[in-house]
Amino acid sequence: MTLESTGTVGTVGSVLFSAQDYWYHNRAHSDVQLARALSADRPVLLVNSLGMRMPRRGSTTQPLRRVARKLTSTLRALRRPEPRHPQLYVMTPISVPVFASPRLSRLNAWSVHVQVRMAARLVGIRVPDVLVTLPTAWEVARLLRSRRVVVNRSDRYSSLPEADSGLIGRLERSMLGACDAAVYVSTALMAEEQPLVRAGAGQAVLLGHGVDLAHFDPAATGPEPTDLAAVPHPRVGFFGGIDDYVVDLPLVRRLAEALPDVSVVLVGAATCPLDDLLALPNVHWLGMKSYDEIPRYGAGFDVAIMPWLQNDWIRFCNPVKTKEYLALGLPVVTTPYPEASAHLDVLAVAQGPDDFVAKVAQALAGESVGTPESRRASVLDDSWSSRADVLRTLFAGRED
């Protein structure tokens, strides 16, 4: 749906600087979910990711593809894409990721700021509440005249392997010291960064992740997709982005080799080669699926897995899919990450590769942690609307 009419000029609204791009990333990401939930009572302008650095041959995965899809995203201009969320607007500003050059970075930030300010006014937002997720958007966000600025710490972006950790780390520290509040999905990350936020007289608040309970309702997922129906049971499944700095692909291979009668199903876009895995007859990669389709695939798993690598990126994250798996009532086996400790009554946390394989086998044999009912019950209070309410409180300048 393209932009047609706008709200009343001067309406209280929000500008959200996203870490993803609405047009080509999976819309399960928290930025999109929070934007949708916030738009229930105000116009929300979702500004697509400004990137972390200029794509380069030899050091960036699929550089030409990244440039092409960002160009396509930019050409979509300003749109209102979801009839169910008529106050949600999406834009991709014209931007050049030259963050390592102070002079060019300032020029780029000024240009993007002008574009965002014009788009915000066009949809009826004069002085917005600002939510910043991606650190490279900070130089733009600080130029906007705003009511309050909240930083969304959904990940530690300076730990991303492709990022310039020194540059991104400086931007993270700058925005944490200048914001009115910072919200966290990870207790570990909040504990480490809370002194930076408080030093700037801001609040640090544990937000956590939400889940779309109606979307991930096992009783309403609909018919099984045709490509999944062709995969024999028992099925051990994973849905989400398949990145070699996040997913422990050797562990997935070990699982498939140790349980040759089990189908290992991977659903999601892959940014790394999967040839070695797909050479195994019981590994099935079904590719990327839309957010609307994901529950139908997840409902067809017998056991869901989260085979994370053990690195700083994982240590400070809180995977959205945890609550999506649990909302579907699935038995879940995961490698350790700090936020898993909040769900030990419904998650099986494996300590090492052998234990991971053993716990998957136990779950397939009916010896899983929790029940379908207890798993879904554990996330019933975690709607995205409740998370948006926390942001509304912070935007209003009040503490919970």
Structure confidence at residue 398 (pLDDT): 65
**Within this chain, do residues 178 and 226 fall inside the same structural domain, yes or no?**
no
pLDDT digits over 238-251, tens only?
999 999 989 999 99
**Within this chain, do residues 199 and 260 fall inside the same structural domain, yes or no?**
no
From the number of C-beta atoms within 10 Å of its C-beta (0-12, 13-18, 19+), residue 358 rates as: middle
Least confident of 19-33, 124-138, 252-266, 354-368: 19-33
Residue 65 · residue 35 · CB < 8 Å: no
From the number of C-beta atoms within 10 Å of its C-beta (0-12, 13-18, 19+), residue 30 rates as: buried
Average pLDDT of the chain to the nearest whole number = 91
Calculate what percentage of the chain has a pLDDT beyond 90.
Answer: 80
Note if the bond before 234 is cis, omega within 30 degrees.
Answer: yes
Q: How many domains does the chain have?
A: 2
Task: Scan for tokens 């930019």, then name that residue.
Answer: 74
**297 assigned to some structural domain:** yes
**Within this chain, do residues 91 and 151 fall inside the same structural domain, yes or no?**
yes
**Within this chain, do residues 100 and 132 fall inside the same structural domain, yes or no?**
yes
Distance of CA 150 to the CA centre of its chain: 17
Residue 391 · residue 179 · CB < 8 Å: no
Structure confidence at residue 61 (pLDDT): 54
Range of the domain at 296: 218-377
**66 assigned to some structural domain:** yes
CATH of the domain at 171: 3.40.50.2000
Radius of gyration of the chain (CA): 21
Cα(306)–Cα(319) distance, integer angstroms? 9
Find the DSSP H helices in 53-122: 63-75, 102-122
**7 assigned to some structural domain:** no
Q: Tell me the C-alpha to C-alpha distance, in Å, between residue 286 and each of 22, 44, 211.
A: 22, 34, 23
Do the strands 181-184 and 203-206 form a parallel or antiparallel pair, or are they unpaired?
parallel
**320 assigned to some structural domain:** yes
User: DSSP class of residue 308?
Assistant: B
**9 assigned to some structural domain:** no
**Within this chain, do residues 390 and 337 fall inside the same structural domain, yes or no?**
no
Least confident of 37-46, 75-84, 311-320, 388-397: 311-320
**Within this chain, do residues 227 and 362 fall inside the same structural domain, yes or no?**
yes
**Within this chain, do residues 369 and 387 fall inside the same structural domain, yes or no?**
no
**Within this chain, do residues 163 and 236 fall inside the same structural domain, yes or no?**
no
* Number of other residues whose CB lies within 10 A of the CB of residue 291: 15
Exposure of 244 in the CB half-sphere (CA atoms within 13 A)? 11
**Within this chain, do residues 189 and 222 fall inside the same structural domain, yes or no?**
no
Residue 216 scores a pLDDT above 90? yes
**6 assigned to some structural domain:** no
* Number of other residues whose CB lies within 10 A of the CB of residue 57: 7
**Within this chain, do residues 270 and 389 fall inside the same structural domain, yes or no?**
no
Structure confidence at residue 161 (pLDDT): 77
Structure confidence at residue 58 (pLDDT): 47
Cα(32)–Cα(37) distance, integer angstroms? 9
Cα(10)–Cα(127) distance, integer angstroms? 7
**5 assigned to some structural domain:** no
Whole-model pTM above 0.95?
no
pLDDT digits over 124-167, tens only?
999 999 999 999 999 999 999 999 999 999 999 998 877 788 99
**Within this chain, do residues 227 and 344 fall inside the same structural domain, yes or no?**
yes
Structure confidence at residue 218 (pLDDT): 95
**Within this chain, do residues 206 and 225 fall inside the same structural domain, yes or no?**
no
**8 assigned to some structural domain:** no
